[in-house]
Amino acid sequence: MSADPRTALRALFDAAVARAQPAVVLPGRLPPPPRGRTVVLGAGKAAGAMALAVESLWPADAPMSGLVVTRYGHTPPAYRPGAGRIEIVEASHPVPDEAGVAASARIAALAQGLTADDLVLCLISGGGSALLTMPQAGLTLADKQALNRALLESGAPIDAMNTVRKHCSAIKGGQLAARCAPAQVVTLLISDVPGDDPAIIASGPTVPDPSTCAEALALCERWGIALPAAARAGLGSGRFETPKPGDACFAQQQVEVIATPQASLEAAAAAARAMGVPAHILSDAIEGESHVVGGVHAALARAVARHGQPFSRPCVILSGGETTVTVRPRAPGQPRGRGGRATEFLLGCALGLQGQAGVWALAADTDGIDGVESNAGAMVTPDTLARAAAAGLSVADHLARNDACGFFEALGDLVVTGPTHTNVNDFRALWVA
């Protein structure tokens, strides 16, 4: 094993991201032009890049128009407003804002008045839950913002969060498809959720919703999520119910997941093997509290390093999925911690490794943004704890304050990529020499 572990880990992450690029996964996936109009609608962190890929692939003589919404700063540099057939707008993520409400209203309007001869091409990726914001009747944007913050800080898994989100929305949970009927609806999805369930990705705006208002209400009770009075009333009465499997609005529908966490992990594994290093994928669907999952990964890597079990060294251990961070209460006057799932995973990993020789780790979000910070993630090295001690940094203190970004920033170990224009969720790699 001659490669520098830090350089090699970054190359594995880059290989995973490259595999999920819209320009790579969209060719061959588009339907033929319809007899009528083609309307492109979309939302998510990858929606801008998906729109540009569709622009390049769609026949020049086939009419097409549309609108997609992506996160601030995630519009691809190649986009030129007014130069193409699909407009790209930006809004806030993970907490929605007025721009998201305005974009969602425009998308809903474009879905109206279509015929069976028309085609709606929906481009959906992770992040769409916040970007596609249309509060149910009786709810305000402030209600949705408060609910989103409570969900994000609760530690609830993504399927639970999105079950609540879709029932408090007038456009998610299959309701965009209902607006498009009777047009043919083709949904192309880039998955950022464990299991790749289309009903969970971006809260399934064009997909039948098997969950119920009662389930959403029960999940809020289980995870201690405070609900605005209007939301509790709407869920409790069933007034916020969503279209279910078998509903006629889904009769002209096709759904395809075109990029997945598993495919990206396999690309990273192939890159490691090309370096001459065996690679092992644990799972593409790992969930749980981030720092706890980090500790488990550390225990596995230590077993490999010390005992050659369950894998022989050298090797690379890969995993994906979506862990969660439960935000701890702050002491009076204490600033809010900075960080996200990837860096909090690495705090737990550093504690578990205890400076184990020969083990390096990288964790990053494949969209290039860990939480709401400007870094994708960070790295742990065999001397992370020693360098932290020399700098007067305490892993336990930063973990208690949910300040993982501050910890790795002080060490100079953040991984900064900028927006990647795709999103297949968490990427984790441990290099055992």
Residue-level pLDDT at 155:
85
Residue-level pLDDT at 1:
53
Q: Kindly state the average pLDDT of the residues 144-159.
A: 91
Q: H/E element holding 279? A: strand 279-281
Q: Minimum mean pLDDT among 90-104, 147-161, 180-194: which range?
A: 147-161
Domains present along the chain, CATH in parentheses: 5-16+261-432 (3.40.1480.10), 21-134+169-208+243-259 (3.40.50.10180)
- Give the strand order in the sheet containing 184-190: 86-91, 65-71, 38-43, 119-125, 184-190, 253-259
Do the beta carbons of residue 368 and residue 419 sit within 8 Å?
yes
Q: What is the 3-state secondary structure (H, E, C) of 60-84?
A: CCCCCEEEEEEECCCCCCCCCCCCC
pTM: 0.94
Residue-level pLDDT at 377:
98
Closest CA to 290 of 391, 368, 200, 405: 405
Residue-level pLDDT at 339:
87
Do the beta carbons of residue 149 and residue 218 sit within 8 Å?
no
Do the beta carbons of residue 366 and residue 427 sit within 8 Å?
yes
- Tell me: the pLDDT tens digits for 298-351? 999 999 999 999 999 999 999 999 999 988 776 776 777 798 999 999 999 999
